[in-house]
Amino acid sequence: MVEGGRRLIAGNWKMHGTATALSEARAVAAAVARRQADGAEPPPRVAICPPATLVHRLAEALAGTGVLVGGQDAHAEPQGACTGDVSAEMLRDAGASLVILGHSERRASYRESDPAVAAKVEGALRAELEPIVCVGETLDEREDGQALAVVGRQLATSLPDALNGRAFALAYEPVWAIGTGRTPTSEQIAEVHAAIRTALTGRFGAHGQTIPILYGGSVKAANAREILALPDVDGALVGGASLRATDFLPIVEAGWA
Q: What does the alpha-carbon distance between residue 35 and residue 206 come to, in Å, rounded to a whole number?
A: 32
Query: What is the closest distance, in whole angstroms, from the C-beta atom of residue 114 to ligand 13P in the complex?
Result: 18
The active-site residue out of 75, 130, 173, 193 is 173
The reply to whether 216 sits near ligand 13P by the rule CB under 6 A is yes
Is 173 assigned a catalytic role?
A: yes
The reply to whether 141 sits near ligand 13P by the rule CB under 6 A is no
Nearest CB to ligand 13P, comparing residues 155 and 227: 227
Nearest CB to ligand 13P, comparing residues 154 and 218: 218
| Residues between 94 and 123 with contacts to ligand 13P, criterion CB under 6 A | 103
Residue nearest to ligand 13P (CB): 239
The reply to whether 239 sits near ligand 13P by the rule CB under 6 A is yes
Which range in 17-25, 162-170, 233-241, 245-253 contacts ligand 13P by CB under 6 A? 233-241
Among 178, 196, 224, 252, binds ligand 13P (CB under 6 A): 178
The reply to whether 151 sits near ligand 13P by the rule CB under 6 A is no
Is 16 assigned a catalytic role?
A: no
Nearest CB to ligand 13P, comparing residues 72 and 87: 72
Catalytic center residues: 103, 173
Chain residues in the site for ligand 13P (CB under 6 A) = 12, 103, 173, 178-179, 216-219, 237-241
